[in-house]
Structure 1
Amino acid sequence: MAERRTRRPSLWSRVRPTQPAIPWHTIVGASVAGALTIAVLGLGGDLVGTPILIAAFGSSCVLVFLLPDAPLSKPINVVGGHLLSALCGLAVHAVLPTAWWSLGLAVGIAMAVMAAARVVHPPAGGTPIAIMLAHEGWGYLLTPVLAGALVLSACALAYRFLLRRLERRPGAPAPRG
């Protein structure tokens, strides 16, 4: 019998995007919401005189606004993930020097704690790194981490509420699947 030759998949077929396309109205709305949320966090910090914005909140905006129905985008995941990760970063920083291996250890511990608490939020993995590299103290837990995560979650909830109202309008684009 002749041997059947199977065709190897091309490199492009192995690396091309496989996630479903996101409708343009969703991309625009989510991008505006993310930009406004980061601006609110920045302005809020200026108004109260203490920062409530950290870099990891940019990644959180990608999740909560572009994928608002994903389990990792729920407010409990955003707040709990950042809070627990910050605790891990602060604890590791309190007992170990800041080095490549302690940064990795802090992120690994944060991942385990988030998973055990069932509040995994991938952007929160950057929180311990920011804490340790900037040599932050325990006050960082409340501001900017907790305060910022709460504001971000409130903005995300407001966005979801607005989306639901707009989707019920006559002539509105079809709801996201």
Structure 2
Amino acid sequence: MFARIAKHLKIDFGNVSHTERLVSTAGGALVIFCVIVITRASLGPAGTLLIIPSMGASAVLLFAVPHGALSQPWNVFGGHIISALVGVTCAIAIPNEIIAASLAVGLAIGAMHYLRCIHPPGGATALAAVIGGDITHALGYQFVITPVLLNVLVMLGVAIAFNYLFPWRRYPEWLGEKPQPAAGNTRSVSQRTIEHADLVYALSQMDTIIPVSEHDLLQIYELATGQVSQRQLQPGQVKQGHYYSNGAFGPDWCIRQIVDTSPSKDTNRDRVVYKVVAGAEPRSSAMLTRTEFARWASYEVIRDDENWKRVDADKPSG
């Protein structure tokens, strides 16, 4: 019975360790301590109640979900600052507090959307600028600088320094990015089927909260692999005189041109001769079956001035 209720309520019994939970707890406590101290120094005790709610919400994202898209620096910085600007403007321009508050939150959401910095606590910052009372209204646009900007900088500084202390946590997210493996080693792996148990294991090894459900992750994987299979070059698309790329990066990138063919209904005898015109092993040549070449190639390319341009799969390449 409880399991059924938990399923409907989307209660996540994930594999996040106790260590990770304690680290999140400590980080959130530390950053709010710093924010309160700085806010009290700039606005006095009464001003503390004004901004702490939205910063507390940001602390949850920064320390409980540091790898989440909504927790990244531009989202935090832009989300709060832009929302504060919108909120102050609405408070000044619109006499009716109810309308001003409603528009402040709505316009802040729209602005964050267009500026690619969605950060949910920003909505609370916009709202605080309108309903914060006389202290906030007296500040005017100074509210954007003190306390909002000051608090945001403290939040980001503490988040970067604190999360860096723990090897499995990296903030901003790009600090934890790993170089892509060579293209030649990825295709066979991508063709394997990922099962639910594999996904659960991978999530447990990451030991962090990922704001995407297992179902959504599996769906993303299925859509991505489906896209790969759709764009997979077919042997019949390999034509004499055309150029093809393996789609790799760095030193493994390569462009080959088909210089000759030996057509045959037997796939083992249907061969092509290619030469390397750019990238790895320049000016070399070899012979492969058409099927082997199609397996190597990711897509067809054409020469565009000094660059190689991918040919649109939906358009004839001529």
Q: Describe the superposition over 1:112-142 as per-residue Cα deviations: whole angstroms up to 9, x where unpaired.
A: 0011000111111101111111242111000
Q: Give the aligned partner of residue 50 of structure 1.
A: 43
Q: Give the aligned partner of residue 73 of structure 1.
A: 71
- SS at the partner of 1:55? helix
Is 2:184 the partner of 1:158?
Answer: no
The Cα of 1:94 is off from its aligned counterpart by 1.2
The Cα of 1:28 is off from its aligned counterpart by 0.8
Tell me the TM-score normalised to structure 2 length. Answer: 0.47
After TM superposition, the structure 1 stretch with the greater mean CA deviation from structure 2, 137-146 or 20-29, is 20-29
The verdict on how the C-alpha distance between 1:133 and 1:98 changes in structure 2, with shifts beyond 3 A counting, is farther
Structure 1 contact 30–66 (Cα < 8 Å) conserved: yes
Structure 1 contact 98–132 (Cα < 8 Å) conserved: no
Distance in 2 separating the partners of 1:64 and 1:70: 8
- SS at the partner of 1:17? coil
Structure 2 contact 91–97 (Cα < 8 Å) conserved: no
Q: 1:61 aligns with which of 49, 59, 62?
A: 59
Choose between structure 1 and 2: higher strand proportion.
Answer: 2
Distance in 1 separating the partners of 2:6 and 2:27: 33
The Cα of 1:50 is off from its aligned counterpart by 3.4
Is 2:51 the partner of 1:20?
Answer: no
Q: Give the aligned partner of residue 134 of structure 1.
A: 132
Taking only aligned residues, the RMSD between alpha carbons, in angstroms, comes to 2.5
Structure 2 contact 80–125 (Cα < 8 Å) conserved: yes
Note the residue ranges of structure 1 that are not aligned, 5 or more in a row.
1-9, 168-173
The Cα of 1:99 is off from its aligned counterpart by 2.7
The Cα of 1:175 is off from its aligned counterpart by 4.5
Distance in 2 separating the partners of 1:16 and 1:134: 34
Distance in 2 separating the partners of 1:118 and 1:166: 24
The verdict on how the C-alpha distance between 1:16 and 1:119 changes in structure 2, with shifts beyond 3 A counting, is closer
Distance in 2 separating the partners of 1:127 and 1:107: 9
Distance in 1 separating the partners of 2:23 and 2:5: 34
The Cα of 1:166 is off from its aligned counterpart by 8.6
Displaced runs of 4 or more, over 6 A: none
Q: Which has the higher contact order (CA 8 A, sep 6+)?
A: 1
Matched to 2:100, the amino acid is S
Distance in 2 separating the partners of 1:13 and 1:66: 22
Distance in 1 separating the partners of 2:100 and 2:13: 34
Note the residue ranges of structure 2 that are not aligned, 5 or more in a row.
171-204, 209-318
User: Percent identity at matched positions?
Assistant: 29
Q: Give the aligned partner of residue 149 of structure 2.
A: 146
Distance in 2 separating the partners of 1:49 and 1:152: 16
Matched to 1:146, the amino acid is L
Q: Give the aligned partner of residue 30 of structure 2.
A: 36
Distance in 2 separating the partners of 1:95 and 1:143: 21
- SS at the partner of 2:163? helix
- SS at the partner of 1:163? coil
| Residues 97-116 of structure 1 mapped to structure 2, 5 A cutoff | 97-116=95-114
Is 2:121 the partner of 1:123?
Answer: yes
Distance in 2 separating the partners of 1:166 and 1:117: 27
The verdict on how the C-alpha distance between 1:101 and 1:23 changes in structure 2, with shifts beyond 3 A counting, is farther
Distance in 1 separating the partners of 2:28 and 2:22: 10
Distance in 2 separating the partners of 1:30 and 1:166: 10
Q: Give the aligned partner of residue 207 of structure 2.
A: 176
Q: Give the aligned partner of residue 87 of structure 2.
A: 89
Matched to 1:141, the amino acid is V
